[in-house]
Structure 1
Amino acid sequence: MAETRADVGNKRLFGMRCHFKRAVQTVVSLIILTSAYIFIRRAQWTEPMFQEARWIKYSTVPLNSSREPCPQDTVKNSLCLSISVRLLAGTILSEQRFLTVGLSSVKRKKESYLLSTLNSIFSQSSEKELSQMVVVVLLADFDSGWVQETLNNIVQQFSTRLSQGQLLVIHADQELYPPLTGLKRNFNDAPDRVTFRSKQNVDYAFLVDFSAGLSQYYIMLEDDVDCSKGFLTSIRGHIKSQGSSPWVTLEFSKLGYIGKLYRSMDLPQLAQFLYLFYQEMPCDFLLSHFRTLLMQDKSIRFRPSLFQHTGTYSSFQGTHNRLKDDDFQQDPADNPPADIHTDIKVFEKHSPDEAYSQGAGYFWGMVPIKKGNYFLIAFHEPVVLFHILIQTGLDGKDLLDSADVEVGEMILKTGSRVECTGNHILGSLQEGQFEQNHVKLNNSVLCLRIRVTADQSNWVIIKNIQVWTAEKKGEKSQTV
């Protein structure tokens, strides 16, 4: 039978898709091989560099590099990433930290938010948390006067953080960048927009590559954000909650590339990826593609968000920027480790853990829901409660109509049932919600229970259970 035009067209389309797939696979293979080479070279470079912590005084570092520029070809130039960044100020310590916070900053036409962002990072963290953290700031503007002035301000305001190895300031010279004009106009962006977003990708490639090896994990921020209290402790808890489940990126904000967390072992590959495809699309698009290429199909985002965008004016042309994350909380819950139990029948994959994990999911229970049914949180260790928030229902539906909130000092297991004993009733749900601040209890508790007090005919959603503890509250208040 003769082929129709549609058949021929479909074959051509299929061929084009196969060609594109092979091209992507080739590029990914190149990235992996290149990253392996850099990893080996990095191991050779890092050992002598870390034999002794060094303090580089910003005043002695010239702002004009005399090194030979890297090749303009992006594939060849990608091998220059590791040697392209200069440390302007700070102390690189030998011991690896838990978390690196990376941000890039450029000269803005209107307001600058960098110093405010740094102050938020440090002031919202305890000294214990700061001892496990290093903040890396890339001054990514080509205006040497602005770089020097900004560096002076950072050194003046954060000299202690610099000397203690908690803050590093870096810079890459203009001649080390690939071409930034005459680039592809993907998404029909104007040439100046393409230049801006392409340079930003290269900025982050330098920043990410420099940060590899400084800590176990790396989180990306912008230079105009506020941080929630104890964000490192919250991040640590969320990482632990993933257990052995594979992941590439964990997200702690829903805006752009704010609050994207990576394992440090993935940073060399991420740097190469951002560099090789720097002119193709904006950074947040590339980060999504990187995640999917490494086989994490869906985003893993935690609520509440730990970072809030605060800038009023964009770094691109100073345009007004109203972006806000409505999931942000200044003081996120502690939710100490616990086991979750219920005798309410679970609908599909909406498990009891979803109500307590502070992720995007929720518990969904099916009828019959009878008086005496329970939803119980059994803490791994005794805790002193400070603040409790319980939210049920979704969009006004599937509320838990009648229930008491209780705490207990002991846990008793009888067969498949778990009991919370030595109870003290804190109060009742009102219109499906419960909140109590400054919980007044003389003793620590081992369990928190929601006990149904009347039959109900509708299903129930427990959307969110948040717990703040008195110990964590006191620790978080000891900020700089």
Structure 2
Amino acid sequence: MRRRAKKKNVVLGVLVLVSVLYFFYPYEFLLMGLTRSAQSIPYQSSRHAERLLSKESWVEQGDYLPLNVTYQLLAGAPADQQKFLAVGLSSVKRKKGSYLIPTLQSLFSQSTPEERSSMVVVVLIADFDYSWISNTVREINSTFDSELQEGQLVVIHVAQDWYPPLTGLKRNYNDAPDRVTFRSKQNVDYSFLIHYSAGLGQYYLQLEDDVLSAQNFLTTIRKHVEEQNAKKGTWAMLEFSALGYIGKLYKTSDLPLLARFLLLFYQEMPCDWLMTHFRELLTQRQAILFKPSLFQHAGTFSSFQGTYNKLKDKDFEEGVYTNPSAEVYSNISTYQKHFPKLAWDAGEGFFWGRSPESGDHLTVVFLEPTLVTGILVETGSGGKDLLDSGQVELGQGVLNKDKKSCKTFQSLGAFINGKFEMHEVDKLHSSASSCLRILVTAAQKDWVIIQKIRITTK
């Protein structure tokens, strides 16, 4: 009897121990059934990535539409306090190299210390090749040690067992089965990523793992958000790139619903189509797209079968410019409200004028003399309305009478295929300038569009 009692107590003790271990380490038990254990993932692989639940969302508050998933923390840890911006991207193993590290480097290098302290970047390693995961996490740890320590970068993983079926799905749009699997898994990846990020920032920015960022993108986003919030009505999504699921901004209160929406319809259509439906369901009928774009697709080869991908955003400008204060004049007849100043100011506007004659001009008069170091002028749209013949000039001595031009001008060079670009202008023109002039040197029947005038200064 004592032996039986002792044996029973041992079995009971083991069961209690197993229950305790499972309660505190459920992910490790989950991975026991995989061909490669979590022990092959170094760097904090046994830690759980605790979620900061969004208090603003009625979905989270009432535990509606439960989304059960366990996250594993591979590197870093989110800060206790909510940031202004959470940036999310998922990454998988590609057949022809990875763009993840350059993407992260671009995000952090294009941000000031103050901007970095206002954001957290969440990377979901959405692959199940544990050797590749180990190498990727090792590289992230060695490259972004300070960002990980400061809570500005978090790397997470979700085991394959948490995913819904990814094969034998409906072949909507007559997509091939492997294509359906790819896009369906991507929807689930984004669902898990968004679900985890819901409490980390006031706003959430969706990116891909192969993009370049514009300088000070966070400050630009903050400015546009404040302007949009000051307007009447509401918004569900702001777009800072016209491409795919890049540069889409959401309020954190909408993320729990978005995560469940992507998971619910994961096999129906690609994520960039789903996000349009989601925006419309939240009663924002029209897209709100800001230009210039803040993010550019940089990958050459797609994550789907390594196919060549030449997708680029024509409205992307890597350096956020601030042209000096100036007045802009032109004697070319302006079409509607496409005024000359729009080519000079930041934003999506441009100057559009009717057929220019030889000697016509667009002149920028600086409010203060400026030492110009670089000039970029782009004309036309879609190969039409280019400036066929023209030159760029710098001027000195503002005319006292009308202050709309300068006394003298020096030519810097001619337009080539509707574009003028010059660096190190100060080596040829070392004194401060008061004007910049675009001079038409031959009449043309076509109208002319001056898309943008960008200068760099000392």
Distance (whole Å) between structure 1 residues aligned to residue 80 and residue 369 of structure 2? 36
Structure 1 match to 2:456 = 468
> Judging changes above 3 Å, is the alpha-carbon distance between structure 1 residues 156 and 289 closer, same or farther for their aligned structure 2 residues?
same
Q: Which residue of 2 aligns with 1:390?
A: 377
1:465 alignment partner AA: I
Equivalent positions of 1:31-46 (< 5 A) are none
Over 3 Å counting, the alpha-carbon distance change for 1:154 and 1:457 in structure 2 is closer
CA shift for structure 1 position 162: 0.5
| 1:253-272 aligned within 5 A | 253-272=241-260
Q: SS of 2:289's equivalent? A: coil
1: distance between equivalents of 2:450 and 2:131? 55
Counterpart-to-counterpart distance in 1, 2:451 and 2:178: 44
**CA distance 1:204–1:348, change in 2 (3 Å):** same
Q: For 1:192, give the aligned amino acid.
A: D
Q: Distance in 2 between matches of 1:179 and 1:145?
A: 24
What is aligned with 2:24? none
Q: How does 1:234-383 map to 2 (within 5 A)?
A: 248-293=236-281, 294-298=283-287, 300=289, 302-303=291-292, 306-312=295-301, 314-316=302-304, 318-325=305-312, 327=314, 331-336=318-323, 341-342=328-329, 344-352=332-340, 354-356=342-344, 362-366=350-354, 374-376=362-364
Contact 2:293 2:317 in 1 (8 A): no
Amino acid at match of 2:437: I
Contact 1:274 1:286 in 2 (8 A): yes
Report what 1:199 is aligned to: 185
CA distance in 1, matches of 2:255, 2:105: 26
**1:430 and 2:415 correspond:** yes
- Unaligned runs of 5+ residues in structure 2 are 1-42, 50-61
1:121 CA drift (Å): 3.2
Q: How many residues align?
A: 395
Q: Distance in 1 between matches of 2:199 and 2:365?
A: 38
Give the corresponding residue for 1:208.
194
How far residue 425 of structure 1 moved from its aligned partner, in angstroms, is 5.0
Report the identity percentage. Answer: 43
Residue 301 to residue 323, structure 1, CA distance change in 2 (3 Å): farther
The aligned residue for residue 183 of structure 1 is 169
Question: What CA distance in whole angstroms lies between the structure 1 residues aligned with 2:156 and 2:201?
Answer: 17
Structure 2 contact 213–318 (Cα < 8 Å) conserved: no
1:243, CA displacement in angstroms?
Answer: 8.8
**Gap change, CA 1:352 and 1:455, over 3 Å in 2:** same
1:452 CA drift (Å): 4.9
Residue equivalent to 1:44 = none
Once the two structures are superposed, what CA deviation does each residue of 1:264-284 show, in whole Å capped at 9, x if it has no partner? 454344323322322210112
| Candidates 201, 205, 219, aligned match of 1:219 | 205
For the pair shown, the structure with the greater C-alpha radius of gyration is: 2
Q: What residue ranges of structure 1 are gaps of 5+ in the alignment?
A: 1-56, 64-75, 471-480
Contact kept in structure 2, 1:306 and 1:329, CA below 8 Å: yes
Mark the CA change 1:196 to 1:367 in structure 2 (over 3 Å): closer, same or farther: closer
Q: Distance in 1 between matches of 2:152 and 2:399?
A: 42
- Corresponding residue of 1:32: none
Residue 467 of structure 1 aligns with an amino acid whose one-letter code is I
Deviation at 1:59, TM superposition (A): 4.2
1:118 Cα offset (Å): 2.6
Aligned-residue Cα RMSD (Å) equals: 4.3
